[in-house]
Structure 1
Amino acid sequence: MPAAHPTVVVVGASLAGLLAAAAAARAGHPVTVLERDALTGPPGPRRGVAQGAQPHVLLHRGLAEATTLLPGLGEDLLAAGAVRVDTGRLPWFGPAGWQPTDVPSYAVLSLTRPLLEHVVRERVLALPGVGLRGGCRVRGLERAGGRWRVLVEDGPDEEADLVVDASGRGSRLPTWLAALGLAVEEPETVDAGLGYASRLYRARDGHPLTNGAVVQSTTDSPRGGLALPVEDGGLLVLACGYGEHRPDRDVDLVAYLGGLREPALGELTAGLEPVGEVAVHRQTGNRRHQHGRRRDWPDGLLAVGDALCAFNPVYGQGITVAAIQARLLGEALRRRRGGSTRRLQRRLRAAADLPWAVATGEDRRYLDGTTPSPAARLVGAWTTEVGNLAVAGDRRALVALGRLYHLMGSPLELAHPALLLAAARRRRGPAQPSAPRPPELEALLTAAHG
């Protein structure tokens, strides 16, 4: 890239694209964001975000990273209606039963995806040097005298020193690279066939609901669900299932959730008033492109977010990884004095290493005909054991799992000697009775039924 502040074009006003634009702008670069959808009017679902009607949370790491780019973002989201949820107090029914809710953990902000995008977009567009072209479909890339020309279907093309592809799962970057005569490697994919069905609910008496609940699926019971509070007192309820258990648009959510191995979500939903229709989403496979690995990776071109590595959304990692990548991009732009972007692209890809391992490791358990490696079986068995310790009330296990879930810690924390000792003691001791429903769940059920 040139030594002077390069002009940046970001393809896609996804959260990954907006955060990348914020990073470039804060590093002093003029930025133009090109978005296929027309972004006008109040917050609402849009065609370019297929999972826009599904529950979204900002993990602790994601909010922290985004706030370094947009100071005060958390306060803005809360002011817009986001609900703060202490994940240590969130009723969670895992493979071994209900986890204790007496150990506080990281807080998440829960809100609908359209509102999250709206608040972030308003903040980014207020930064100096950031412009947005909505209703703008990109059809390809060309080299233009050492720079890039971004080809636009309806309207003038854009020239840039740096192009950042943040166009999501539907990215056309592999096609554009092939058209430039560059070899494109096949992406790595792990698709367990998970499907969702979601619907917004509210309490019939109008009382706002400020907590939710999770019933986790297992390989023996491949159905699950969750409910999370969102703005305006709503509760966004999701049912999920793998393979033939995937719910469709005609699903009776109350019956589906009531048939889970723990029927609490069905009982909860039965007492609420539905708002709107059921929304279905099935594009949940993990897919990781190999961008930047080849030596002929072109200078001045980067991919971020789902355009680089898309995760099964059930793990809630995508926005956090995009925020980490945006921070890395900003740091690189502030210190660069020319040179190739290949090394930076590899760093952006490496930012997804841990969440990729977590998501694909879990999803491979649901794939028929696959035989996990001995190492994978060992990791899976030990993770299950740590989960059993957490259900039994082991504080270290709860903290370690929380840190890993929020991408704040290392998997090595799960191998702490104290956990090994606790596991040995648990195996020698008497069987623990199943934990009762946590009081936070009982309070939520009471509030839902008035």
Structure 2
Amino acid sequence: MVVGASMAGMLAAAAVKDHVGSVGSVEIVEAHEVPEGPEPRTGVPQAVHIHFLQTGGIEAVEALLPGTGDLLTAAGAHRIPVTTNMVVHSPEGWYRRWRRSTHQLISASRDLMDSVVRKQVFADPRVGLRTHTKVVGLLGDRRAVTGVRLRAADGTETDLRADLVVDASGRATRLPRWLEGLGITGLTQDEVDSGLVYASRVYRAPVPARDWPFVGVQADPRLPGPAKSGGILPIEGGRWHVSLMGAPGGRPTRAPDAFVPFARTLRHPVLADLLTHAEPLTDVAVTHSTANRRHHYERLRAWPEGLVALGDSVAAFNPVYGQGMSVAVQGALALRDVWADGPAPGLARRAQRAVARSVDAAWALSTGQDIHFSTTNGRRPGVADRLLHRYVSRLSRTATGSFHAATALTDVLALQAPPTSLVGPRMLLTALAGPLRPPLDEPCFTEAERRLLDKLAGPEPVER
């Protein structure tokens, strides 16, 4: 059984459904209602902010649920070639839009992504759903989990026996407390919190959204003042999904009239310039819970058979890096691959360690960046961290004018290569050589995109 009908919960069901046998089943237990179509789901506050699948996440979801990418695009999602269709202002300058695309993103509203994945998962008759039901504890002991204790909406409690329990209940997971109830203690947790606040809004795109680039302005931790960043992501229905982020001392608010002015305070006003011509379709939604938080279940000396944690229950990330869904998919794929070996002592521990390995790269990326902001709590950079940050910054500057450096960085950011791949001999020489082309001094829109933007701006005023 799976705790939570989250994206991670759906993917967990997809990962284990082929191993339940001819008379077995997968039961997903969810505390809230689950919509049938692409509608908001209670308990997912992060759904109001921009979401996309990295290349590594796309590959993993195709392995678990073949055809998902095509189903998403047929429903209106966008495939964005990287960096061909990206206008991004990094701390080191504007990235080039290389004609040769090496990676891709799939962008859509979170509601659409959840809906497409749910439909595929529930198409299998072995997967069932129990809504308005809370999991209030684990059955079993420190050696083996044998099921869960359920509480229905009317308060009645029952036991549900299971050979495997997967906790996919997200940031609000109660698994640490449940483990203590089984006598398993010593769990360690890491938290790195930059204090970032997210404010998001959906707009009607003033230009054709199909093939429109992702536009982003990143924060620079070297600059004085609070970090600020933002992005415009094309989504289904001819819309733009816009998220703005700010650290303490410079946080966005829910005030509709303050949204575009805040965008104008970023390191470059390109987002505000674009939004001036767009029609807002929603109110401004704000989220404060953006800390990186990780439970190190894989380090526990005792781990019961029949239990695995997945997704945000294991590690939740600062959403500014767009890694959460992709890491959850890769974790589910790791679970599937371990479970394919069949029942054996220590199977759950091996699966939990495999899930942890799927988290490592994204955790290093997000926390390795966040620790350099002055507002961050939980960990401060040491000498080695500063040296590494200087090197990655130089490599990022090189990537503004080097296709090889840009591809290597994207391999890591897309969760297809570990961060250690950036410190090999060839990459060291690439960083030492620096960019091969001069820096860009303005957003890199194509001629066709500029013509569309010029039409929005209207004719030049007549001089009198």
Change in CA separation of 1:432 and 1:146 when aligned onto 2, cut-off 3 Å: closer
CA-CA distance at 1:448 after TM superposition? 6.1
Range with bigger deviation, 201-210 or 155-164 = 201-210
| Cα deviation, residue 356, structure 1 | 0.6
CA distance in 2, matches of 1:288, 1:94: 27
1: distance between equivalents of 2:175 and 2:431? 48
Question: Residue type of the partner of 1:150?
Answer: V
The change in CA–CA distance for 1:372 and 1:438 in structure 2 (over 3 A counts) is same
Aligned to 2:63: 68
For the Cα contact (< 8 Å) 1:60–1:108, is it kept in 2?
yes
Q: Which amino acid aligns with 2:323?
A: Q
For 1:310, the equivalent position in structure 2 comes to 316
> How far apart are 1:408 and its partner, in Å?
1.1
Q: Indicate the residue corresponding to 1:372 in structure 2.
A: 381
Match of 1:116 among 91, 113, 116: 113
**Cα 1:267–1:376, aligned 2, differ >3 Å: closer, same or farther?**
same
Q: Which residue of 2 aligns with 1:398?
A: 406
2:46 matches 1:27: no
- Is contact 2:147–2:162 with CA below 8 Å preserved after alignment? yes
For the residue of structure 1 that corresponds to 2:180, the secondary structure is helix
Residue 367 of structure 2 is matched in structure 1 by 360
Distance apart, 1:183 and its partner CA? 1.2
Stretches of structure 1 lacking an aligned partner (at least 5 in a row)? 1-8
1:185-334, aligned counterparts within 5 Å?
185-204=187-206, 210-219=212-221, 220=223, 222-250=227-255, 252-334=258-340
- Give the alignment's TM-score, normalised by structure 1: 0.91
Structure 1: distance between partners of 2:278 and 2:322: 25
Task: Map 1:335-354 onto structure 2 (within 5 A).
Answer: 335-340=341-346, 341-354=348-361
Counterpart position of 2:35: 40
The equivalences for 1:44-63 within 5 A come to 44-63=39-58
* SS of alignment partner, residue 128 of structure 2: strand
CA distance in 1, matches of 2:206, 2:433: 48
Distance in 1 between the 2:299 and 2:380 partners? 28
Between the aligned partners of 1:235 and 1:447, the Cα distance in structure 2 is 18
The CA distance in 2 between the partners of 1:411 and 1:204, in whole Å, is 38
**Is 2:147 aligned against 1:149?**
yes
Q: How far, CA to CA, are the matches of 1:331 and 1:22 in structure 2?
A: 12
Deviations 1:108-130 (A, max 9, x none): 11000011001100100112411
CA deviation after TM superposition for structure 1 residue 419, in Å:
4.1
Between 86-95 and 212-221, report the one with greater CA deviation.
Answer: 212-221
Distance in 2, matches of 1:209 and 1:282, equals 32
1:98 to 94, 97, 101: 94
- Runs of 4 or more above 6 Å deviation: none
Per the TM alignment, residue 37 of structure 1 is displaced from its structure 2 partner at its CA by: 1.6
Distance 1:268 1:68 in 2: 37
RMSD, aligned CA: 2.4
What are the Cα deviations for residues 332-356 of structure 1, in whole angstroms up to 9, with x where unaligned?
A: 2221233122232122112211111
CA distance in 2, matches of 1:99, 1:207: 21
- Structure 2 vs 1, CA of residues 31 and 139 (structure 1 numbering), >3 Å: closer, same or farther? same
**Which stretch shows the higher mean deviation, 208-217 or 364-373?**
364-373
Corresponding residue number in structure 2 for 1:6: none
In the TM superposition, residue 27 of structure 1 has moved relative to its aligned partner by 2.9
Describe the SS at the equivalent of 2:220.
coil
Instruction: Give the distance between the partners of 1:444 and 1:172, measured in 2 at CA.
Output: 51
Instruction: For residue 264 of structure 1, report the CA deviation from its aligned partner.
Output: 0.3
TM score, norm. by length of structure 2: 0.89
Count how many residue pairs are aligned between Structure 1 and Structure 2: 439
Percentage of identical aligned residues: 37
User: Cα deviations across residues 317-376 of structure 1 (Å, max 9, x unaligned)?
Assistant: 111111111112112222123312223212211221111111101010114586522221
2: CA distance, partners of 1:358 / 1:225: 18
CA contact (8 A) 1:390 1:397 kept: yes
**3-state SS of the aligned residue for 2:353?**
helix
d(CA) in 1 for partners of 2:14, 2:44: 20
